[in-house]
Structure 1
């Protein structure tokens, strides 16, 4: 009896001494992962660059005599401080943001493979699911800090160098400083959607490819492939189905009325890609065998749960966008170009009239129209190319003769164009015009425009 009691007491004491282990909370894991990321010299350098360099660049370029006129809104950097952040956004969408997602999200899981620290992390956290959530949230936080730095730095640099002046939109209409500010911040906000999509692809590459350098480079490679695709004469639906189109479609915020349908479609597609790629990365991660110390991510599961679903997603989004929009082909047609050029010229002509202190005229009185041809009518009158030629006509009150001006257009596949004045010299032949206050940029010498690719958005 005593022996049985002793054994029972011993068993009870042993049970009392057994520690109960609980997984570390996501909040604690998140703080740990943020500290790990910020402690890296590479991340600290990126933060410093994003918060300092754009402002210095915008301020320096705005004071130069030569402007980046081949960049969207670059020709207006002398006129307003709100042009600089848009120039930085154009560069960031093409190069900076893809590289940032590669260096942050593309390495957040692969770093543990290179260092061989997965077993230690699992012992500390005791939950692969919470590890994934903490790492994904930490990389998102760092990316947001970098993007905010790009925005704040470029805005401060532009306003400090030039000031809070009105901005000329892509159809020639003038945006007040408050409207320009709202649209600039909204454009950067829309650019977050494709950034999240690339970050999710980076998470997927980091999980699937392990120590392979391809995991780190995957977001940058995908972004480069999408940029090359945008240069091709793709159907409109396929162009919008690519997750990076929102890096371009923010242009529609700077027309009146705004070209919102392509932008909203692009943002929605990017967010869908972000969600799907993140879920795929999670599925690959929680199914991984962490007991295999030689794991390098090169498994069949990386293809079946990574590449194949993304290809299927591209096909699905293409089908949905094609069914939802009536546009076919390139979306760049002769009537669209003529409407766009005539509208922009009408707005800018009034701006030039004000600069030269001539009698004010309304756009209704001008009755501006444009006749545009591609390759002198020898080819189909649609599609991108640098062989578009437009003759713009307008009327002035009390003047019998119809005014005309010639422009050579270089239209890109995404609908953006640059109209280069080709006479008469009194209208668009010179870069500067002589005003009572001195020389000022001639708004009709060259101007940027945007052809909306969706049929439904271009009507009215």
Structure 2
């Protein structure tokens, strides 16, 4: 009896056949499903898309405003103040916590559950596993950011309406201009958010199931926030990845103060790429065959923390070499303060003139100027502090006597200041002005301004 014939194709087939691993797109979808299956991620996503709108709507029903926050005093006047108030809060607290929940746990969860062997069998490529997890984590973080921006904007449009916004130089921005600058501010905030997400990936890979990995993005954000309050040189301030959460202030002046913003965004993106690359290298070097392996252990210091410290020193050196010589100081000088205050006063004086239905006047006709002194002229006339006192002088056509108004300035280390009117009462000494249609908020009583830390824009 003869054996049955075997097809030639079967003879050519190898004795053992290994099934190909899952492609990146399928692994990415699988990681997204795993993330959205977690109840805390679904809850946070719902909160990001609803809570900001409720907050802005709630503020719209209150008689008091968060005037201690940037643009908070304008939340009753325009829809575009709400998203900017939320952006200031999100950069300090919300986004670091949100990124830690997602990217800070995306690798550590596999260590806790002991599922690396199953994932490797399905995907068959550590590189594709890392790419899928990193992309899925960043996708969820971007959904968080988009939700906060969209929800706060919707709440503002429903409660305050699409009205002009007063910029940080006192200029009245049209609704379209304000909307464009607000969108650009949120877009620029994506860069430091990606840096925090990359730090979360690095902590999740390097520290395994340890909860310390979850704390790295908030710790970094808190450290950067504290550092921004210190009297640091401008070059050091710009070289920190968290400065982009503050530098968007320069978008709301005319001309726009783009120099510090572009530097801050670039530094944040460099941090994001560098930290992701470190996480990738650590992930490829880990031992997947050892069931008790838990992160990189001692290598977390040498391959994670020390390179980031070296990156900080390098960015400080590069920024110091690429920026003007004034970057070695605080960047807040007497001449800058006087110029910024005089410009903002002139624009807001025109707004008050329109409220009172007085004859129109231009900034050129006002010819406003400011004389400022810090600590009553004692010591160096530069730097942050709440001891700046200024006298603004202006002229009206046909009036031989110049007008004067006094302001107390509280200037932060980042250049943002609050000007508090101190008389005369008819100009800036009271929070309301009496108009033909009733009492209205006095734009000259208290307002926000911004001193550019770098001399990168024109003086016009």
Normalising by the smaller structure, the TM-score range is: over 0.9
| Worse-superposed segment, 322-331 or 229-238 | 322-331
Moved more, 253-262 or 302-311: 302-311
Distance between the aligned counterparts of 2:366 and 2:12, measured in 1? 95
3-state SS, counterpart of residue 388 of structure 1: strand
Q: Retained in 1: the 8 A contact 2:83–2:149?
A: yes
Residue in structure 2 matched with residue 376 of structure 1 by the alignment: 376
Partner residue of 2:122?
A: 124
Task: Report what 1:205 is aligned to.
Answer: 203
Q: 116-125 vs 216-225, which deviates more?
A: 116-125
Counterpart for residue 424 of structure 1: 424
> Which residue of structure 2 aligns with residue 49 of structure 1?
47
User: Does 2:187 match 1:189?
Assistant: yes
Contact 1:242 1:314 in 2 (8 A): yes
- RMSD over aligned CA atoms reads 2.0
Return the match for 1:65 from 59, 63, 66. 63
Q: Deviations over 1:243-271 (max 9, x none)?
A: 11110000000000000011011111111
C-alpha contact (below 8 Å) 2:366/2:394 kept by paired residues: yes
Question: 1:447, 1:220 → 2: CA distance?
Answer: 31
Partner of residue 311, structure 2: 313
**Distance between the aligned counterparts of 2:40 and 2:58, measured in 1?**
26
**Range 406-415 or range 450-459, more displaced:** 450-459
Partner Cα separation in structure 1 for residue 53 and residue 349 of structure 2: 32
Aligned to 2:359: 359
Matches within 5 A, 1:325-336: 325-326=323-324, 327-336=327-336
Distance (Å, rounded) in 1 between the aligned partners of 2:399 and 2:36? 68
Determine if contact 1:452/1:458 at 8 Å carries over to the other structure. no
- Once the two structures are TM-superposed, the CA of residue 436 in structure 1 deviates from its matched residue by 1.7
Per-residue CA distance 1:319-340 (angstroms, 9 max, x = gap): 1100011122111110000000
Hey, what's the Cα distance between the residues in 1 that align with 2:397 and 2:214? 63
Deviation at 1:457, TM superposition (A): 3.3
2:395 aligned with 1:395, yes or no?
A: yes
> What SS does the corresponding residue of 2:189 show, helix, strand or coil?
helix
Pairwise CA distance, 1:308:
1.4
Distance 2:71 2:270 in 1: 30
1:390-419 Cα shifts (integer Å, max 9, x gaps): 000000111111100001011111111000
Mapping 1:54-203, distance limit 5 Å: 54-203=52-201
Contact 2:80 2:156 in 1 (8 A): yes
Residue 288 of structure 1 aligns to a residue whose secondary structure is coil
Specify the SS of the correspondent of 1:119.
helix
Q: CA deviation at 1:21?
A: 1.8
Match of 2:253 in 1: 255
Deviation of 1:144 after TM superposition, in Å, equals 0.9
Output one character per residue of 1:117-165: Cα deviation in whole Å (capped at 9) or x when no partner.
1111111111100000000000011111111111110000000001000
TM score, norm. by length of structure 2: 0.96
Unaligned runs of 5+ in 2: none
Superposed CA offset, 1:6-37 (max 9, x none): 9x99xx76965623321210000000000000
- CA–CA distance in 2 between the matches of 1:167 and 1:138? 37
Aligned residues: 458
The match for 2:347 is: 347
Per-residue deviation, 1:300: 2.8
Q: C-alpha separation between the residues in 1 aligned to 2:92 and 2:458?
A: 26
1:301 CA displacement: 2.2
Mapped contact 1:191–1:247 kept (Cα < 8 A)? yes
8 Å CA contact 1:81–1:159 kept in 2: the answer is yes
TM-score by length of 1: 0.96
SS in 1 for 2:457: helix
